[in-house]
Structure 1
């Protein structure tokens, strides 16, 4: 992808592109940026992905803590049903989800994409597994000192869950950033499109112009790759300590 994105279209058609191109060019990026509102689509992707990631982290942490350390009727059954949703592909619920966001007058807005994905069964499972490993004596000591459940969670549990927060944030960020099917359905205005949708639009416009396509794909991939490389030690630690091996 990098090699083709930095190669000229003429060299590609002539078969002169190897592992290392003879001449590097940024013409493909200029052509894409001049022809399409890539910066707008990039901003939409950032806004939607960050909002979804923040909401998902908050929801998953609270639900995971409840399943791990709060006792209420039907908690085990509810947790099993929650895990059962992992086997359901998103295509199964798309029609019902579309009717829901339409009736809530959210269709064609950011919220139509953000709210339906602001929770994750896998994220709740990882949170629950992580919080189970926190000694109950530590929580009981906080309660004996007069801390309520919310203060116990924010002052005792949350500071110990930094690796988990990193994992949940990146998983949600990556999933939302790369999501294609649901944003394509929920967003109707070109100015609200995200990068994955824009990539399909570009392919339809340029046809076999693989250099422009790879340049656009590189713009889409680079931010998530950078985030992972910077925070990878937190992701690995979070996965190991949450019980997913």
Structure 2
């Protein structure tokens, strides 16, 4: 109930004119629910552009990042090469470096590449997901080496072994990576705030911050709650689709 109630209260506020900020009385359901907040914000703000930007960044970024994580995790788990331990340790060390430290150099690289105010400015720097690579490696360690050796003896090359033998066993892993990757990119605020500038190019989290000071609304909280309610739906859909794989993947990667 503690986890669900804020989401419920957000939906109730979205159905209340002005949110619940114009009333000193707290209530669990409005006496006169209305869709006026939705109509007002969708009519005056480019909400569909914001949703489209977030969907493109989250979908494409997650798909590419999952591919990178699967390949890197497989290499670190199943290939023996000089410096593998040092390289893996270096990957893990980067988890401890906060984004604020690398914000300026990352922005300079994106700016020199001419990608500022573009969705690719958000997608490309986040393709390397250390947590995703860690989870993928832990999962790949459980794939029997004998299975890979049998494929190679049968004449399968390295790419075919990975695609035809390893990937079919990675359904739970893919579910975990998709849910975590999509959620992180959909909710990301700081990096899109830095590299996206035009109002129609913003993602939903950044756009929500602009509504609180928007003079077009007498009380912005109704509009904020309306947009926030709509933006929860894609996350719920992704989780419901990959729910079973997510639970199996978390159980099988040693993170219990």
Normalised to the residue count of structure 1, the TM-score between the two structures is 0.95
1:79 paired residue number: 88
Residue deviations 1:155-186, cap 9 Å, x none?
Answer: 00000001111111111111111111111111
CA RMSD of aligned residues (A): 1.5
Unaligned segments of structure 2, at least 5 residues? 1-9
Unaligned segments of structure 1, at least 5 residues? none
1:201 aligns with 2:205: no
Supply the distance in 2 between the matched residues of 1:140 and 1:207 (Cα, whole angstroms).
68
Supply the distance in 2 between the matched residues of 1:3 and 1:162 (Cα, whole angstroms).
37
2:6 paired residue number: none
SS at match of 2:212: helix
Residue deviations 1:118-168, cap 9 Å, x none?
Answer: 121000000000000011101110010011111110000000001111111
- Asked whether the 8 Å contact 1:4–1:17 carries over to 2, the reply is no
Mapping 1:73-112, distance limit 5 Å = 73-112=82-121
- 1:226 deviates by 2.5
Mapping 1:28-177, distance limit 5 Å = 28-177=37-186
* Paired residues, number: 245
- 1:190 deviates by 1.8
SS at match of 2:34: coil
Supply the distance in 1 between the matched residues of 2:21 and 2:197 (Cα, whole angstroms).
35
- Asked whether the 8 Å contact 2:13–2:20 carries over to 1, the reply is no
- 1:15 deviates by 3.6
| CA spacing shift, 1:10–1:122, aligned 2, 3 Å | closer
Residue deviations 1:13-59, cap 9 Å, x none?
Answer: 23455112222211111111011000011001111111100110000
2:224 paired residue number: 213
- Asked whether the 8 Å contact 1:55–1:119 carries over to 2, the reply is no
Residue deviations 1:91-139, cap 9 Å, x none?
Answer: 1101010111112222221111100001210000000000000111011
1:226 aligns with 2:237: yes
1:235 paired residue number: 246
Supply the distance in 1 between the matched residues of 2:135 and 2:118 (Cα, whole angstroms).
30
Supply the distance in 2 between the matched residues of 1:108 and 1:5 (Cα, whole angstroms).
30
- Asked whether the 8 Å contact 1:7–1:17 carries over to 2, the reply is no
- Asked whether the 8 Å contact 2:53–2:202 carries over to 1, the reply is yes
Supply the distance in 2 between the matched residues of 1:86 and 1:10 (Cα, whole angstroms).
39
Normalised to the residue count of structure 2, the TM-score between the two structures is 0.91
1:192 aligns with 2:224: no
